[in-house]
Chains A and B, each alone.
Chain A
């Protein structure tokens, strides 16, 4: 019996390596509500990525979320320097308050630093994602096709729809880190039908057959692999892909290619 568990474990780990996983949702820095186990340092994250079989990660810094984007984004660049397998993802704020300086300059410098993706936290950071507040920022990101990652609880579904339709060339990646994705699919499917620029990330996507269903209805191109490591266990997202009810070609798209394509599509 032991060998069966061992065999399954071995097969699982071999499978992971064959799909070149690129994690779109990885964090460095200490979370505000750390559980009994957490990793915060770059070396710790990289060691766990290696253990888990994840080759690359798009990382944000917890200080950018919980302290200030200006502080956390700067620290992020310092901490991932010299680690080509860690790519930065900045957290931005709306331009009117100029907390990041002139937003155009900030985005230009961000791209010069090699950062090609951003996250927005409108609810946590207390601003509106509507056009009067973020329209200019979103238009600038859209012009350069910089992907925007946003958590479902950081906005509402109608605003997300407006964001996607007002900025049809802006890649928008929906993340569901602080809630269960299974509640959301009745909201998500009409959005997928209407908004070709909307993608969904896999973390907390463990509704029974949920990812398989999205692939069969909307194609594997709409799903981006992400884990929310080190808050959530990356093996959950990993096995939903490796043991998915879809082809290896589609698994490769989800595991790494879709994110690579989004980042390659950024116009510097």
Chain B
């Protein structure tokens, strides 16, 4: 286990473990990830397993996430994953893992699972999250035509448009919802800004592909730094690129502090001492 030292302070609210079939990943080892985290002053990462987001193998995804949490407790925290294609079984697994130490929220991927954020099969998750105060990280993107399989009628990203979060936030105003990637591209950014400003508990993260010039300054101006979380999308994308963007942004130091760590600490409960138990045993 890597030592947790006072020198580390950044919280990366959006990372992944596991593999993607359609591109080369140089090194997916947890040891390397911890080394890069140390280098970048990242204390904590919040991880979801790719297999649970891009396929329907959620049992495997959760068990791998659990292994990562156990290997580096206090450094790696996990998202349970809800799969709307298997809502009942998936919710059972979400409940089981959310009852274990190290799981701090639920990740959904409406594009990967090809089901809309506001669709009825997500309803059991929203009910559970509302009752149990569980933060939700949802992939969001504008409706780009990329990534469409031949047998699909609509591009998968249509299911993940930020504007679809609006009706969920109206119905469940107490759920803290983080819109990943701030909506993806420009049209998605515009939607994300509108939804975030409408709801007290809706946030964005800066993870992933969007590295547009002035994007962080723009979001700070439009929604305020208190609504923005640092996320990288590691192990797809490199945390150093996004830390550089925050450090280099023309915003106040206090705003950088909120983005890099404070907002995450206000949303998630990062328990420091691990006993191997919470409600349930580590499996």
Show the binding face of A for B, using Cβ within 8 Å.
1-2, 4-6, 8-9, 12-13, 33, 35-39, 51-52, 180, 182-183, 185-186, 189, 204, 206-213, 229-240, 242-243, 245
Bound Cα distance A1, B234 (Å) = 24
Contact with A along B222-255 (1 / 0, CB 8 A): 0000000000001111111111110111100110
Contact A1 B261 (CB under 8 A): yes
Assess the B213–A9 pair: CB atoms within 8 A: no
CB contacts (< 8 Å) of B237 on chain A: these are 182, 206-208
Q: Is the CB of B9 within 8 A of A1?
A: yes
Asked whether, in the complex, the Cβ of B22 is within 8 Å of the Cβ of A183, the reply is yes
**List of A residues within 8 angstroms of B7 by Cβ:** 4
Partner of A239, one of B27, B240, B249, B260: B240
Inter-chain contact A238/B248, CB cutoff 8 Å: yes
22 A-B contact pairs sorted by A residue (CB < 8 Å): A1-B262, A5-B253, A5-B256, A5-B260, A13-B247, A38-B214, A52-B248, A183-B22, A183-B23, A207-B23, A208-B237, A208-B238, A209-B238, A210-B26, A210-B238, A233-B211, A233-B216, A234-B213, A235-B249, A236-B241, A243-B39, A243-B240
For the complex formed, measure the closest distance between the CB of B91 and the CB atoms of chain A, giving whole angstroms. 31
Distance in Å from the Cβ of A144 to the closest Cβ of chain B?
Answer: 33
- The tally of residues in B whose CB lies under 8 Å from a CB in A reads 46
Q: Which of B60-82 contact A (CB under 8 A)?
A: none
Chain A positions within 8 Å of B215 at CB level: 35, 37, 233
**Could you tell me the distance between the alpha carbons of A237 and B7 in the complex, rounded to whole angstroms?**
24
| CB-CB contacts below 8 Å: B17-35 with A | 22-27, 32
Report yes or no: A232 in contact with B212, Cβ–Cβ below 8 A.
Answer: yes
- State whether A236 touches B218 (Cβ < 8 A): no
Are B40 and A12 in contact, CB atoms less than 8 angstroms apart?
no
Q: Does B217 count as interface, using CB distance less than 8 angstroms? A: yes
A264 to chain B, nearest CB (A): 29
A240 to B238, CA, bound (A): 8
Whole-angstrom distance from the CB of A51 to the nearest CB of chain B?
8
Known contacts: A4-B9, A204-B211, A206-B211. The answer to whether A239 contacts B247 by CB under 8 A is yes
Q: Which B residue sits closest to A237, measured CB to CB? A: B241
B36 contacts which chain A residues (CB < 8 A)?
Answer: 209, 245
The CA of A2 and the CA of B239, in the complex, are separated in Å by: 20
Q: Contact between B238 and A2 (Cβ–Cβ < 8 Å)?
A: no
CB distance from B2 to the nearest CB of A (A): 17
Contact A238 B218 (CB under 8 A): no
A-B pair number, CB within 8 angstroms: 136
Pairwise interchain contact B238-A206, C-beta atoms closer than 8 A: yes
- State the majority secondary structure of interface residues on B: helix
- Cβ of A231: which chain B residues have Cβ within 8 Å of it? 212-213
Q: Nearest-CB distance from A41 to chain B (Å)?
A: 14
Which residue among B7, B244, B260, B261 has the maximum number of chain A CB atoms within 10 Å of its CB? Answer: B244
The residue in B22, B214, B248, B253 that gathers the most chain A C-beta atoms within 10 A of its C-beta is: B248
Least CB separation from A51: chain B residue:
B250
Give the chain A neighbours of B254 by CB distance below 8 A. Answer: 2
B209 at the interface (CB under 8 A from A): yes
Q: Does B274 contact A (CB under 8 A)?
A: no
Interface centre among A36, A52, A245 (most CB of B within 10 A): A36
Other A-B contacts than A37-B217, A51-B250, A185-B23, 12 sampled, CB-CB below 8 A, are A1-B257, A1-B261, A5-B253, A9-B247, A9-B253, A12-B248, A36-B214, A37-B213, A209-B26, A230-B213, A236-B244, A243-B39
Q: Does B41 contact A (CB under 8 A)?
A: yes
B254 to chain A, nearest CB (A): 7
- Closest-by-CB residue of A relative to B222 is A36
- Interface residue B186 (Cβ < 8 Å from any Cβ of A): yes
- The docked-state distance in angstroms from the alpha carbon of A243 to that of B41 is 11
User: A4–B253 Cα gap in the complex (Å)?
Assistant: 10
Inter-chain contacts of A182 with B (CB < 8 A): 23-24, 236-237
Given contacts A1-B261, A4-B41, A236-B242, contact A12 B247 (CB under 8 A): yes
A230 partner residues in chain B, CB cutoff 8 A: 213
Q: How far is the CB of A44 from chain B (nearest CB, A)?
A: 11
Closest Cβ neighbor of B260 among chain A residues: A5
Minimum distance in angstroms from A226 CB to a CB of chain B:
13
Whole-angstrom distance between the Cβ of A189 and the nearest chain B Cβ: 8
| 4 closest residue pairs by CB, A with B | A37-B214, A239-B244, A235-B248, A206-B241
Give bound CA distance, A127 to B245, whole Å: 36
Q: A243: which B residues are within 8 A, CB to CB?
A: 39-40, 240, 244
C-alpha gap A255/B250 in the complex (Å)? 23
The smallest beta-carbon distance between B244 and chain A, in angstroms, is 3
A235 touches B236 (CB 8 A): no
B257 touches A2 (CB 8 A): yes
Q: Is A186's CB under 8 angstroms from B24's CB?
A: yes
Min Cβ gap B71→A in Å is 18
Q: How far is the CA of A13 from the CA of B22 in the complex (A)?
A: 36
Rounded to whole angstroms, the CA-CA distance of A52 and B27 in the bound complex is 30
The residues of B that contact A233 with a CB separation of less than 8 Å are 211-216, 244-245, 248
